Chain A
Amino acid sequence: MLKHSALTGLLAAVPSAVLAAEPGADAAISDPAVHFDHLWNEMLVDITAIGIVFSLVALYFLVRYRRRHAGEQGRPVKLTALAAVGWAVIPAFAFMADDFYLAAKALNLLNDYRNVPGDRFEVKMESAMWSWTYTYPNGTQAVNELRVPAGKPVVLRMTSKDVVHSHFIPDFRVKEDSMPGRVTYLMFYPQKPGEHVATCAEFCGMMHSKMFGRIIVMPPAEFQAWYDGETRKVAQEKIQQKGV
């Protein structure tokens, strides 16, 4: 077990955290964004197939049974009781089978989103009209800009100062609301260095559409250097405050 769910409790968290720290363990952590795209494509094939079948049948009927002269009437089909029941029950079970197939896939993906690895980078986020404030474990704060190391899962522990917001990172296929009075979580797994948009997806007033920031994914070494520098700054600030 390289990952644990919130439901399996604290006991499972200890060994998985140890295991995940071993070299090569990262490869086994699944990236929800990759699985999302996979399921999305599969679902598109599914609905396109249903769409084509129904459309072809409807189109055929429309052409084949068009009215040819003004007085023409339809030729009703009298269904036997068995046929009537069959036409209801067989499609119902076929649809139900497809529903449960999709539900099973969806629940699997849900697990990818919630199985948060023990070895993660956890940042606190507080949303307010109209900005995101990130607080790193060392106490550093940043507004609308989150720097994270590549190759390590990131967890945001979120709350909101005023109204409901939603932290949406389209590139990582993830969003979760933040709200006053509750703590919510969001996990994503940046693989490569780069920049991504984080934008608000829950209507929050006048500047809703301007409430966005950047997620900057840095090479791990570069990130570490930056982070250590910030840690020193925070420590110095504390010393200065005590001195005063």
Chain B
Amino acid sequence: MGTVLKEWIFTTDHKRVGVLYLIGSLAAFAIAGVMAMLMRIELSTVGPTITANPQDYNVWLYFHGAAMILGFQIPALTGYLANYCVPLMIGARDVAFPRLNALSVWLFWGGIVLALLTFVIPDAPDIMWTGYPPYSLKTGGNTAFYTFTVLLIGFSSILGGVNFLTTVAYMRAPGMGWNRLNVFVWSIVAAFIIQLIFVPVLGTAVTMLLFDKYLGTHFFDPVAGGDVLIYQNLFWFYSHPAVYVILLPFVGITYEIFATFARQRIFNYKMVVYGGMGGVLLLAGEVWAHHLYYAGMPDWLRAGMTVTTLLISIPVGLLMIGLIGTLYRGAISFQVPMLWALGVLFTFFVGGLTGIPLAMASLTFHVGDTAFIPGHFHYVMAVAGTFAIFASVYYLFPKMTGRMYNETVGRIGFWFTFIGINLVFMPMMIAGFRGMPRRYYDYSQFPQLEPMHQLMTVGACIILVGALVTLYNWIQALVSGEKAPANPWGSKSLEWTTPSPPPPGNFPTAPVLGDNWTPYDYGASLTART
């Protein structure tokens, strides 16, 4: 046991690093999910339900947001998925800097452990994942905890960025041209370019917070010449692009799953990569101020940001066309990974469309900072991203563990979760339009919304059932699943040419790519290959 543990902790193998990321991020997901349940139960009645102290609720909400974004989604997509898939997909033996890779997973685990200590210290942070001053400077909560968590995970991301961009640039198998890369590999390239440009800005913002609170500087103190809005600008200058750091990889892996289960080539590959992903990359840094529409912004800036934000619909629309187009003339099977991937298509679509009013400054004067916002971003990013991560775990399960999961249990888990999320987030958007602000411990000024809140709580319980069934399925398969073949889905992508699970060094013989090879070379032969 001791040697196995030592092997895992000190591993430099990209697949094991990926699995370590997966375990850590799923732990963050589970605890942040428990916080969500506590909040939903608290909100099921007007007035106190399970706690009479609003501070408890604020700490739950802080942890839910910070852990889901910084501890679950970003590390799961750019840590676990990138680590596991990218070297296999490009035909490399490992990443370019395996030891740097180990350091980044350690930093991530440091961040996760620090975040979990929130529940041990007496003055837990209560500043929401945004940490806006002056509140974050005046609160008795421990803002330094927040800063250090962000910095640790941020450094981990920067190291990952250096590593993966180098890996894709220099470690591709002979013959693997740029236009032969899996769409997922492209999405990781785009996501890490965003991380490298924007993470330092977030690091700066939270460090200034630390200086203001503990070292007596006045960056955000108007009395001494500072400005409270500087922080909001710096924060969103990173945190809006961070949405695309989540979006691009989850769309990327959805493309992989669509292609595999429809046994079809990606529809208009270059449009998807250069128009869709490239377009998102280009616009990522030009829209952040839409988070500040009603923070005393000058009208000319509101007008400009309305236009740039609306323009995001162009690349996102192209990504959507590519996804649906990949289904055209395919041979679609509805196995569990595909079900979750179709769930991504649906939630991403609902979230994308409900984002359109939020681009328009004048419409946010009513719906901004109401429950409409969490409803929208859970659809477009939180749920869509989580569905994609779940899809990828099912998709890669045979590869990662060498075992098959149970199809029926997998379906049950999916449908519970899918119905549950719609029962939570549709009513949430409606409640928001009817005036319910976000981040509220109680809503005695809106007693008419109580039935709607109860519906959301029921939805949350259904999600919990779905999540537990899914977790059970994974554990059961891990312990006693059937042995998996090397390529259970009949995929043409390189990662499925390796044994399951792949040995250290990945490819027993170096992959040879023919002249017409692509990772989506379907339809070439009609022989059965299940």
Contact = CB atoms under 8 A, between A and B. Distances in A.
Contact of A110 (B130, B263, B362, B370): B362
A18 B171 CA distance: 74
B332 A179 contact: no
B360 A103 contact: yes
Interface string A186-221: 000000000001011111111111101000000000
A126 to B, nearest CB: 14
B528 interface: yes
Interface in B394-414: none
A233 to B, nearest CB: 29
B360 A106 contact: yes
B332 A208 contact: no
B135 A110 contact: no
Nearest to A158: B296
Interface in B435-461: 435, 437-446
Given A67-B332, A72-B331, A179-B295, A39 B363 contact: yes
Interface residues of A, number: 82
A114 B362 CA distance: 10
Interface in A47-76: 47, 50-51, 54-55, 57-58, 61-62, 65-68, 70-76
B327 A62 contact: yes
A99 B263 contact: no
Interface in B292-346: 294-296, 299, 302-303, 306-307, 310-311, 313-314, 317-318, 320-321, 324-325, 327-334, 342, 345
A173 B320 CA distance: 32
Interface stretch (B96-104, B204-212, B348-356, B502-510): B348-356
B285 interface: no
Given A71-B529, A180-B228, A76 B264 contact: yes
B58 A206 contact: yes
Interface stretch (A23-31, A84-92, A146-154, A234-242): A84-92
A212 B445 contact: yes
Given A36-B366, A106-B361, A180 B222 contact: yes
Given A62-B332, A92-B314, A106 B362 contact: yes
Contacts of B522: 73-74, 76
Interface in B361-383: 361-363, 365-366, 368-370
B138 interface: yes
A7 B301 CA distance: 13
Given A61-B324, A95-B314, A88 B523 contact: no
B279 to A, nearest CB: 8
A204 B262 CA distance: 49
B270 A84 contact: yes
A96 B134 contact: no
A231 to B, nearest CB: 30
A110 B228 contact: no
Contacts of A71: 526-530
Contact of A173 (B318, B365, B443, B530): B365
B361 A197 contact: no
A182 B294 CA distance: 13
Nearest to B439: A203
Contacts of B369: 166, 168, 175, 201-202
A167 B324 CA distance: 43
A43 B357 contact: yes
B142 to A, nearest CB: 15
Contacts of A199: 435, 437, 445
A19 interface: no
B294 A175 contact: yes
B523 A73 contact: yes
Given A184-B296, A208-B440, A39 B362 contact: yes
B135 A163 contact: yes
Contact of B329 (A65, A99, A162, A202): A65
Given A61-B327, A74-B330, A77-B265, 10 more contacts: A43-B357, A55-B349, A67-B263, A73-B525, A106-B306, A174-B366, A182-B229, A199-B445, A203-B58, A210-B54
List of 10 A-B pairs having minimum Cβ-Cβ separation, nearest first: A181-B222, A71-B528, A170-B435, A74-B264, A106-B360, A109-B362, A88-B271, A209-B440, A99-B310, A184-B296
Interface of B: 54-55, 58, 126, 128, 130, 132-135, 138-139, 222-223, 226-229, 262-265, 267-268, 270-271, 275, 294-296, 299, 302-303, 306-307, 310-311, 313-314, 317-318, 320-321, 324-325, 327-334, 342, 345, 349-350, 353-354, 356-357, 359-363, 365-366, 368-370, 434-435, 437-446, 522-530
7 contacts: A6-B299, A39-B362, A67-B331, A71-B526, A164-B135, A177-B296, A203-B58
Interface of A: 6-7, 32, 36, 39-40, 43, 46-47, 50-51, 54-55, 57-58, 61-62, 65-68, 70-77, 79, 84, 87-88, 91-92, 95-96, 98-100, 102-103, 105-107, 109-110, 112-114, 162-164, 166, 168, 170-171, 173-177, 179-184, 197, 199-210, 212
